[in-house]
Each structure stands twice: as C-alpha cells, then as structure tokens.
C-alpha cells in the first residue's frame, strides 16, 4: 500500500550543502531544483545571475511549494560569489564534463566542511571562472551517444550520491 506524504517514515535531515546554480533561467528547472533540494535536505540555494525568474506562480508548478521551505539567495556577479565561497571555506564541487573531471563515484567528501555544489546553465554549463576555483570537478558516467542530461536530473543523481555517503 502506497503511503501518503504524511505517513512516510523518512528522517528529516539537513546536510551542509549549498546548491549553486550558475545562470539557470528555465523556470521549470528552477522549481524542480527547489523540489529536489528540499527532498535531499540541501541547506540553501544560491542563484548566480541577473534577473533570475523566481516568479512564485510559475515556479510552484514544479516546486510543489518547496520554494517556501528552502532558503535561497541571488548573487548577480560571479566575482562576488567566488569571494563568498572562498571566504567561507567551502569544498567546491563542480558537476561538469571537462578534460580533468573524474567520475562521480570517485568524489571525495571532506569531514566537517560545507559543500558548495555547482551546477551549470542549460546552455553553457559552468563558467570557466567557477571551474578554476573548484576543488573537485566530477561528471556522471553515461553510456549513450548524448554527453549531457538535464540539470535537474544530474543534480538529483549527485545529491543522492553526496547524501548517501
């Protein structure tokens, strides 16, 4: 018998993970990122970019009201975000396929350090400025002809990996 949302026995938990969304503008993705962040106990979300479309009515279709429960901020300039991440001593993990990225299964999660998980825009991925400051760059091993997947699907996979370790 299927359980309702109120009947499930999952433990409520928050992880020291900040999801950093590099110029993500599709409202369906923004809403879904709130939803998956709430499901995996992400501490907060940072949206990088100008004019991020955080219109509650449109986001709510995919967020299912989770945008009301996950704290978020908007940072307009990349330099300001970089300063914040470095000053606060985050372990910066970028989810991107690069010449030096390693498979997700090889990710190293340091003890007692907050994680900034960087995910990239639907068009351009993660900027080179953010890749340069990343402590780890990981990719999801795929077996089809396509070398990318939707940012929400990819974020779901890495959050599962991070929170299950």
Q: Is residue 84 part of a domain?
A: yes
Provide the pLDDT for residue 120: 96
Residues contacting 147, CB < 8 A, separation 6+: 97
Q: Is residue 12 part of a domain?
A: no
Q: Is residue 140 part of a domain?
A: yes
Domain range for 160 is 19-164
Q: Is residue 125 part of a domain?
A: yes
pLDDT digits (tens, 9 = 90+) for 8-42: 666 678 899 999 999 999 999 999 999 999 999 99
Kindly indicate the confidence band of residue 7, based on its pLDDT and cuts at 50, 70 and 90.
low
Residues contacting 14, CB < 8 A, separation 6+: 41, 42, 43
Provide the pLDDT for residue 58: 75
The tally of domains found in the chain comes to 1
pLDDT digits (tens, 9 = 90+) for 107-155: 999 888 999 999 999 889 999 999 999 999 999 998 888 777 899 999 9
Point out which residues pair with 137 in neighbouring strands: 94
SS3 labels along 33-56? HHHHHHHCCEEEEEEECCCCCCCH
Q: Is residue 114 part of a domain?
A: yes
pLDDT digits (tens, 9 = 90+) for 145-158: 877 789 999 999 99
pLDDT digits (tens, 9 = 90+) for 45-91: 999 999 998 877 777 777 777 787 899 999 999 999 999 999 999 99
Supply the CATH number for residue 64's domain: 3.40.1280.10
């Amino acid at each position: 018998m299927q359980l309702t949302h109120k009947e499930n026995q999952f433990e409520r938990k928050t992880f020291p993970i900040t999801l950093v969304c590099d110029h993500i503008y599709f409202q369906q993705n923004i809403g879904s990122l709130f939803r998956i962040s709430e499901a995996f106990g992400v501490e907060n979300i940072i949206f990088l970019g100008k004019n991020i479309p955080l219109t509650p009515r449109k986001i709510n279709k995919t967020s299912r009201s989770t945008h009301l429960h996950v704290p978020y901020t908007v940072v307009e300039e990349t330099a300001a975000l970089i300063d914040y991440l470095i000053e606060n001593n985050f372990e910066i993990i970028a989810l991107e396929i690069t010449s030096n990225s390693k498979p997700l299964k090889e990710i190293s999660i340091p003890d007692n350090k907050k994680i900034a998980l960087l995910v990239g825009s639907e068009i351009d991925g993660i900027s080179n400025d953010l890749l340069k400051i990343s402590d780890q760059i990981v990719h999801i091993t795929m077996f089809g002809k396509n070398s990318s997947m939707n940012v929400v699907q990819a974020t779901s996979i890495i959050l599962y990996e991070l929170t299950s370790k």
